[in-house]
Chain A
Amino acid sequence: MSWHARTLTELATALRARELTSVELTRLLLKRIEAAQPKLNAFVSVTTEAALAAAAQADRTLAAGSAGPLVGLPIIHKDIFCTDGVRTTCGSRMLDNFVAPYDATVVAKLKAAGMVMLGKSNMDEFAMGSSNETSFYGPVRNPWDARLVPGGSSGGSAAAVAARLGPAATATDTGGSIRQPAALCGVTGLKPTYGRVSRYGMIAFASSLDQGGILATSAEDVALLLGAIAGFDPRDSTSVDRPVPDYAAALGRPVAGLKIGVLKEFFDTGLDPRNARCVRDALAVYERLGAAIREVSLPNIGLSVPAYYVVAPAECSSNLARFDGLRFGYRCKDPRDLTDLYCRSRGEGFGAEVKRRIMTGTYVLSAGYYDAYYLKAQKVRQLIANEFEHAFNEVDVIMGPTTPTPAFELGAKTSDPVTMYLNDIYTIGANLAGLPALSIPCGFVGELPVGLQIIGPHFAEERLLAAAHSYQRETDWHRRIPSGYE
């Protein structure tokens, strides 16, 4: 098998065994990225020189024989993570010229672990989108079918990993931005518990929902990287001070006896029956492995989309106020006065979806509307969190579909924001409740991958990864590679 088709774990072994060098691996992947870029547009920046220099350094460390487990392994960073000295655009014209003066904690940790950054992946503008069509740098295309979207907002990271342009990528998830593209691109993606991974240096969309995580081709690889990025960060007050377990060591936990809750509400009329079949087949695999499956209900989960589309825009309207054309980022030409500078810099620098959410958020926080929208949405959020908690008194994990349908065509939903928002109907609940959730490939509808979503209680990442890993030992959906990228 070619090197690019190997998992991160396999590549780690190969590097150690000196079967190939980090420089060779880096060159090979940079060449693939260059070839795929016109087709997929998965990258905003490719950091060729820095990557080769880091790989050469990694090879020296490997040769010295004292290298840690991640030394020399390639990584792609979603362009929402600040990278010292490297342009960090967040998919926006607003930050087209922004070179971050510091590394995000996630980036710094992986850099310190010796990983080699290949480049920065394309994404929906400021992570607002479910199809990667809101990027200032143009849409990313789905490697399984270039006419289709890869999902969003971490579409560039998901497409790149699916097309084996790199073994793993960082990503972020505010309402499904890791899991939904993972499902649509046929890769494994984990959104950790809120607070498990530092948000420092991750450009904020909705602070109470944003969480950094990993996209890779297997649960095993996700476990390897999660251990490296998780942990308390004194620079993020919302990160949780709690020991980081050995996720890789937990992968072997058996599925037998696992109580799986199947969420009744997720198998509603909006779910494509072909997706439903793939998910039911996956549940059958778990049953065969000895898991106990029962139905659970979250009566108010249907309110998660409206609650989310109040809370997230509210926070975004405030978080994005700092982009005012004064200190960094886009500034309009020849402003007449301060108001003109603000209005045109923001009017020209932000795209339509970002503006829509800023306006929605400004509205729901306004005097006279705050109670009716923001406060009510927070109550709904608490209600949903309580329902999850209640459900986890009865089951160990909750499983269901990640998305209602497979990948859809570019432009199919851009004219109707609400239809687009409904794409996140199954993923948003975990964000509102701060729960860890992952998506793994569980079959195909025609040529298109389908995702199985596994949600756990707070800090149950080990349980989720072990369940995913058991499934991936029984199936090979996650090993499938889109044609043209084998």
Chain B
Amino acid sequence: MNSTSLEQWETVIGLEIHAQLATRSKIFSGSATAYGAPPNTQANLVDLGYPGVLPVLNGAAVRMAIKFGLAIDAEIAARSVFARKNYFYPDLPKGYQISQYELPIVARGALEIVLDDGTRKRIGITRAHLEEDAGKSLHEGLPGATGIDLNRAGTPLIEIVSEPDLRSAKEAVAYMKKVHTLVRYLEICDGNMQEGSFRCDANVSVRRRGTKQLGTRTETKNLNSFRFVEKAIQYEVARQIDVLESGGRVVQETRLYDPDRGETRPMRSKEEANDYRYFPDPDLLPVVLAREFIEEVRGSLPELPDRKAERFAAEYGLSVYDAGVLTASRELAGYYEEVARLTPGDPKLAANWVMGELAAALNRDGLDITASRLSAAQLAGLIARIRDATISGKLAKEVFEAMWTSRRDADAVIEEKGLKQITDSSAIERAIEEVMAKNPGQLADYRSGKDKLFGFFVGQVMKATQGKANPAQVNELLKKKLAG
């Protein structure tokens, strides 16, 4: 496929994101939701779908769904209804999944994403509903058999369904990241994609530019990394354009992404022939929410990422980009604010250090900000030594590395290494005089007009002081002395 054909087509994407809610117990039973327990040790009679048992709704899950709805400025339904989605599968003990269908708890919200060119785009969120997760099929170590682990069965999820507002794989990833940031800000989902706590299905179609009607879409299931989302959509878009350009038709179907081969493949057609026969679950009452309760939940919301970024830009004089980076997670934002608070008058310097050396070190060691080897106070302590000219900015990087390794405070490292900056004018003057005495030729050339040699003298003085001389003072004194 050539690039001109790509330009003739428009991509239309909608995402269904599944976020596991961070409740301690399951959505309809008292079993624990912790990840990684031995198979079937966190499944009680309700999770196993035993005869006679009944579901009881976990109020914490409802509260979390409301938080999400409020954060995306959606309508919170005064009355929502659980429905049964009926199908047979070994990891679905009851033969139906309890979900919400016609009356979801959250509807008509939106999020903004920032495009490459810096413009903002509003992505509509059709709905977000509560449902229970299914169990897992296990194949490893069971030749010729399939094991069923029902620990995950009944784990609460919210399924977040976007409008088909996304126009590229990049936009889809930006949107998914935005939701990811948001659910973690709200502390309603741990966001762990490897463990499947946050995953999505991508509905993708293409249409000729200028046409209004949507093309036939495919749904690619269970994408559990940002990269897979991007790759799977890119593959799917290219595939669909190929099909259409060679005169074929896109089949509406469910597909799976194979990360090893980087392609999507149709799932068995049998599994799509499902008619889920949704109907309201007679075992559960409608969820009726009082206005006051919703307002109480609203009162418990933290400052949200967009608002926080706006505030950072305004309050700390940061660029929109920097504010965005520093608010990517609630923890990082908190860390930065602490550094900035301890660096009065220079929030920009604080931002540079957090986004520069600290981010690089975290990234290098594969650590999250919550596992940083240096506290905000320690980093602020280092910055303070730059500001009071105890050390130069360049030396500070060396000090930072030593602090990162030893977890010691800046002052202790500076003391130990003898890195304290020389600000004593007479000491600097002595060093200058020595350098001048050692380099009479260069001195003569300089004085005869070779201004460029000024840098040479600066370098020599810094070298003579092992880099500890205050650069500003060196400049000033050197000019005076060289002038003779």
Contact = CB atoms under 8 A, between A and B. Distances in A.
B444 interface: no
B49 interface: yes
Given A322-B95, A370-B279, A200 B90 contact: no
B53 interface: yes
> B50, B51, B90, B275: which has the most chain A beta carbons within 10 Å?
B51
Contact of A367 (B95, B275, B283): B275
Interface in A99-127: 100-102, 104
Contacts of B282: 206-208, 238, 315
B84 A318 contact: yes
A36 to B, nearest CB: 28
Given A238-B283, A238-B285, A314-B279, A322 B52 contact: no
Interface in A64-95: 81-82, 88, 90, 95
Given A237-B57, A238-B283, A321 B88 contact: yes
Interface string A196-217: 0001111110111000000000
B45 A102 contact: yes
A337 B268 CA distance: 15
B148 interface: yes
A101 B56 contact: no
Given A202-B52, A235-B54, A327-B93, A374 B285 contact: no
B94 interface: yes
A327 B96 contact: no
B86 A321 contact: yes
A237 B279 contact: no
Contact of B90 (A88, A235, A338): A338
A201 B53 contact: yes
B48 interface: yes
Nearest to A198: B54
A95 B56 contact: no
Contacts of B361: none
Interface in A25-49: none
Contacts of B39: none
A199 B277 contact: no
A200 B54 contact: yes
A81 to B, nearest CB: 8
Given A208-B282, A318-B277, A338-B90, A104 B96 contact: no
A237 B96 CA distance: 18
Nearest to B43: A327
Nearest to B48: A327
A326 B148 contact: yes
Nearest to B275: A367
Interface residues of A, number: 45
B94 A104 contact: no
A366 interface: yes
A324 B88 contact: yes
Interface string A306-325: 00000000110110111110
Nearest to B284: A237
B51 A88 contact: yes
B55 interface: yes
Contacts of B57: 237
Contact of A322 (B49, B55, B277, B284): B49
A98 interface: yes
A459 interface: no
B52 A318 contact: no
> Which interface residue of A100, A104, A235 has the most chain B CB atoms within 10 A?
A235
A100 B45 CA distance: 10
Nearest to A315: B282
A46 B88 CA distance: 35
Interface in B30-71: 45, 48-57
A394 interface: no
Contacts of A201: 52-53
A321 B55 contact: no
B287 to A, nearest CB: 11
Interface string B83-102: 01010101001111000000
A321 B285 contact: no
Contacts of B52: 81-82, 100, 102, 104, 200-204
Contacts of A101: 45, 50
Contacts, number: 98
Contacts of A485: none
A365 B86 contact: yes
A238 B82 CA distance: 13
A321 B96 contact: yes
Given A237-B285, A321-B86, A321-B96, A365 B51 contact: no
Given A207-B283, A318-B86, A362 B277 contact: yes
A327 B282 CA distance: 23
Contacts of B88: 321, 324, 342
A318 B283 contact: no
Nearest to B94: A322
A217 to B, nearest CB: 28
B93 A365 contact: no
B275 A322 contact: no
A245 interface: no
A199 B55 CA distance: 11
Given A318-B277, A366-B275, A374-B279, A95 B51 contact: yes
A234 interface: yes
Contact of A328 (B50, B86, B90, B94): B50
Contacts of A321: 86, 88, 94-96
B106 to A, nearest CB: 21
B123 to A, nearest CB: 30
A344 to B, nearest CB: 13
B275 to A, nearest CB: 5
A235 B56 contact: yes
Contacts of B275: 366-367
Nearest to B146: A338
Contact of B54 (A88, A206, A236, A326): A236
Contacts of A362: 277
A326 B90 contact: yes
Contacts of B278: 365
A234 B54 CA distance: 10
A322 B92 CA distance: 9
Interface string B251-282: 00000000000000000000000010111001
Contacts of B56: 234-237
Most buried by B among A82, A327, A362, A370: A327
A95 B148 CA distance: 22
B140 to A, nearest CB: 19
A328 B51 contact: yes
Contact of B93 (A202, A207, A314, A322): A322
Contacts of A203: 51-52
Contacts of B148: 326
Nearest to A207: B282
B51 A90 contact: yes
Contacts of A237: 54-57, 283-285
Interface string A348-370: 00000000000000100111001
A100 B86 contact: no
Nearest to A103: B52
A328 B285 CA distance: 28
Given A237-B285, A315-B279, 4 more contacts: A101-B50, A238-B283, A365-B279, A367-B275
Interface of B: 45, 48-57, 84, 86, 88, 90, 93-96, 148, 275, 277-279, 282-285
12 contacts: A81-B52, A102-B52, A207-B283, A208-B282, A238-B282, A318-B95, A322-B50, A324-B95, A327-B50, A362-B277, A365-B86, A370-B279
Which are the 6 A-B pairs with shortest beta-carbon distances?
A: A321-B95, A365-B277, A208-B282, A207-B282, A201-B52, A322-B49
